[in-house]
Structure formats: C-alpha cells, structure tokens
Amino acid sequence: MGIDTNSAYVFQSWDATSISLSAACDLFMRFVTRTSHLEHEKFDAAKSRLIERGEKFGEISLKARKTIAMLSQDFIYDGCTILVHGYSRVVLEVLKLAASNRKLFRVLCTEGRPDRTGLRMSNELAALGIPVKVLIDSAVAYSIDEVDMVFVGADGVVESGGIINMMGTYQIALVAHTMDKPVYVAAESYKFARLYPLDQKDMTPAHRPIDFGVPIPIGVEVETSARDYTPPQYLTLLLTDLGVLTPSVVSDELIQLYL
C-alpha cells in the first residue's frame, strides 16, 4: 500500500478544528521524513523508504489502543466504580479488556450532551455485560460518592500536560479533584499536540448544534462550544502507548516525538 504524504494535508483540511487529527498528521509527516538518508538517495529508493516508514507509523498507531488497554489494567480492580464521559474508543478498549479479564466493576456513563455520545458508550458497555448506569451530565457531583476513579479520553494532549476533550471534561475533573478521586486519561501518543492553551477560550473554536427540545427565544444566546481544556493539576495520570506518564513529563515526550 502506498503512502501519500499529501494525504496528511488533505485530512487536516477535512476538519481544521480537530486537534487529534492535526497532531496525528504533523507526527506522521515528522516520522515519515525523519531520515537523513533521503537527501542522498535516488528517487525510487527514497520513495520506498517513505512508504516503509509511513506503514510503520500506521502499525504503531493501530497497536496504540491495545497497548494502553494493557497498561490500564493495573488501575482497575474488583468492586470499583468507574465514571466515563462521552464516547472514547480507547476508554472502551480499556474497559473491554478489563471485562474479558473477568474483573468485576461497574461504570457510570454521562449522557454526553449535545450529541449524547455517552448513550452510545453505555449501549456498547451493556452489550459486553458490564453493569452500567447513565447519568445526566449535571449529575456528576451528585453521584461522585459512588465513583472510585474517572477514565476519560482526549481530543488532544497539550504541552502543559493538560487535555482538550469534549465539553464537560473540565468540570468532571474539578469535582473529582475536590473529592480526591483519581482522573486517568487514556490517549494515544499521536494526540500529543504542540499547543499551550492558557484558558478555555484559547483554542480553535469547535461547535456543535444543540437541540434543547423547545424553541429558544429570538435574541437568546446559546453556548455551542464542543470541547473544553482541563489543566494538568486536575489530572492524575496519562495512560499512553508511550507508557504511564504524569502530566509534568508531557512536554519532554513531545520534544522526543518531534525531534
């Protein structure tokens, strides 16, 4: 299968607001072109080397979720209750492996407004035989006493060690931190982005339409932002295919990835 490096730019143009897509494309270009031999090789040899490295990047990315799932098993124990937010494929992989290992646990799923991705997550977990309870997003503080840990995914892991993820992640982390509940982030290394947001508004806007089920009066403003920024001090550990990391070492890992 041939690897066209122009595809990275095409993918990025599909959704300029997707941090994970942008970061993955940047890392793909760095990984594929990271060799001094290219400038000394003939065209066919250089092309073959680019294709080989591109396919290698694909293999690493495909294995990332399984690696994270295996590393996460030490943090899930019998009898625990896990809070998840929205739909994350890597978090689903973590919980799926735990269930296949016959660990006994239950999951609280937020509804995940506005697109109700949490309902999709709850359906998939229930199909695996995992006990699930669905919460409206605003019931997290009310239910936090039932929770032993929080597992969330990430749209992007930024240089500060914080994460950008679906709206509501920040407030969940705040509640968990206040109640001394660990917050684990499961994220593939290709989501590490060279960004350093200083506040909630310091990000490329990403919006989602919201259906409240009733007409909204003309002139009433509606917040449609789809994601928020969770600072590193509210996160316990990052579970990645590079290993289990504290938020403070993310900048060092980013330097290694982009060298």
Q: Which residues are catalytic?
A: 155
Q: Per residue, what are the HEC states of the chain?
A: CCCCCHHHHHHHHHCCCCHHHHHHHHHHHHHHHCCHHHHHCCHHHHHHHHHHHHHHHHHHHHHHHHHHHHHHHHHCCCCEEEEECCCCHHHHHHHHHHHHCCCCEEEEEECCCCCCHHHHHHHHHHHCCCCEEEECHHHHHHHHHHCCEEEECCCEECCCCCEEEECCHHHHHHHHHHCCCCEEEECCHHHECCCCCCCCCCCCCCECCCCCCCCCCCCCCCCCECEEEECHHHCCEEEECCEEECHHHHHHHHHHHHC
